[in-house]
Amino acid sequence: MSNFKVFKRDGKARLGRVKTAHGDFNTPAFMPVGTAATVKAMQPESVAKTGAQIILANTYHLMLRPSAERIKMLGGLHTFMNWPGPILTDSGGFQVMSLSSLRKLTEKGVTFQSHIDGSKHELTPERSMNIQHMLDADITMAFDECTAFPATLEEANVSMHLSMRWAERSKETFLERDGYSLFGIVQGGIYRELREQSANTLKNIGFDGYAIGGLAVGEGQKVMFDVLNYVPSFLPDDKPRYLMGVGKPSDLVGAVLRGVDMFDCVLPTRSGRTSQAFTRRGTVNLRNARHADDPRPLEDYCSCPACKDYSRAYLHHLVKIGEILGAMLLTWHNLHYYQELMAGLRKAINEGQLQAFANDFEKWQNEGDIEKI
């Protein structure tokens, strides 16, 4: 039985729901990133208050510290980090790719040196599935090699075929249970024929959902949208589609218009720690001196604690002096903004008004910040 149900469509966009062992989540969905079993600067209950229903954690980081074995012994990741809702775990492939100088790639998998202490480790499709099982992930990602950008056709072809062989081994190792899903990852760089080949291979293996990998690696929005114009059409209509590592608010709106259901990105949390806030009128840098005497809220129609209880002047003060509360409040605001955006997209699809919503979103983003006092 499928864990995914589509309730409404508007163009290529879908309004749906994914069932998991730890509850359901509505799509289109944005997953805050809790790499090392924590969404940085946020308590789990605060993450839930932003409207987030599912979060992401990372195999690579958790296998190194505190170890999957320890997390399993302590009752699994949900108990360990006090997040009772669904969790998706990234397979570790992307992080290992970024360690290029410290890794050795073979048909079997990847051997690499820890970025923490230089100790040697091996990650294979089998080991990645085993780790994600110990973590008790609701959605497990197949182990893949994230194709670097730029890559020639031949480089992307070799990388994609390796990922497809690893996907098959991931599927063979994954322990199927009610409420637990395994997603395959479409690779192939910016080459349509490779993406189609990859999608067909994954469909033949058979997965519970399909991710689009190898984007948001420096190719730019136009190229990413070009790829998204065709990849979702290669994928089964009755399974969720997940765009990995994306993105800016305008990326999310554009990808939903093209038929994507799920997203994750460090941007709202990382930006919150670097003084940047996402708003209806674009991004606002709270470090800027123009906010020093401004008693107004960051956004007057936002109900997050940063906007409801504090002024721009106070937020500016916090980030200028490096107080932790500044990072906490801006992170909360950014996650709240992202979840409000997703709720708006879901409502627009339900009402058949998605293109009007997208047009309105773009108009307001281009307005720029409110006038200085």
CATH number for 76: 3.20.20.105
Which of residues 235, 264, 293 is at a domain's end? 264
Q: What is the pLDDT of residues 199-258, one digit of tens each?
A: 999 999 999 999 999 999 999 999 999 999 999 999 999 999 999 999 999 999 999 999
Residue 172 is predicted with a pLDDT of 98
Residue 351 is predicted with a pLDDT of 98
User: What share of the chain has pLDDT > 90, as a percent?
Assistant: 93
One domain, residues 211 and 164: yes
One domain, residues 138 and 277: no
Q: Per the structure block, which two tokens stand in for 131?
A: 């780790």
One domain, residues 239 and 284: no
Judge whether 208 and 236 are in contact, CB under 8 Å: no
One domain, residues 175 and 286: no
One domain, residues 316 and 176: no
Average pLDDT over residues 261-289: 98
Residue 97 is predicted with a pLDDT of 75
Residue 366 has phi, psi (to 5 degrees) of: -80, -10
Three-class DSSP category at 65: coil
Which of residues 264, 291, 306 is at a domain's end? 264
* Model confidence at 26: pLDDT above 80: yes
Residue 1 is predicted with a pLDDT of 53
One domain, residues 116 and 190: yes
Average pLDDT over residues 5-24: 98
Question: Which residues are identified as catalytic?
Answer: 90, 264
One domain, residues 10 and 96: yes
Does some domain include residue 192? Answer: yes
Q: What radius of gyration do the chain's Cα atoms show?
A: 20
Q: What is the pLDDT of residues 59-111, one digit of tens each?
A: 999 999 999 999 999 999 999 999 999 999 999 888 877 877 788 999 999 99
Kindly state the helix (H) or strand (E) to which residue 59 belongs, with its residue range: helix 59-64
Task: Give me the number of domains the chain comprises.
Answer: 2
The rounded distance, in Å, linking the Cα atoms of 337 and 343 is: 10
Residue 95 is predicted with a pLDDT of 83
One domain, residues 178 and 256: yes
Residue 101 is predicted with a pLDDT of 78
Does some domain include residue 370? Answer: no
Among 215, 221, 331, residue whose Cα is nearest residue 270: 331
Does some domain include residue 13? Answer: yes
Which of residues 264, 294, 313 is at a domain's end? 264
* Model confidence at 259: pLDDT above 90: yes
Does some domain include residue 335? Answer: yes
One domain, residues 89 and 142: yes
Judge whether 186 and 212 are in contact, CB under 8 Å: yes
Residue 282 is predicted with a pLDDT of 98
One domain, residues 259 and 281: no
Residue 116's CB: how many other CB atoms inside 10 A? 9
Does some domain include residue 372? Answer: no
One domain, residues 59 and 182: yes
Does some domain include residue 129? Answer: yes
Q: What is the pLDDT of residues 349-369, one digit of tens each?
A: 999 999 999 999 999 999 999
The rounded distance, in Å, linking the Cα atoms of 312 and 297 is: 5
Query: What residues make up the domain containing 192?
Result: 4-264
Q: What is the pLDDT of residues 114-147, one digit of tens each?
A: 889 999 999 999 999 999 999 999 999 999 998 8
Q: Is the pTM of this model over 0.85?
A: yes
Which of the two residues, 165 and 98, has the higher pLDDT score? 165
One domain, residues 231 and 289: no
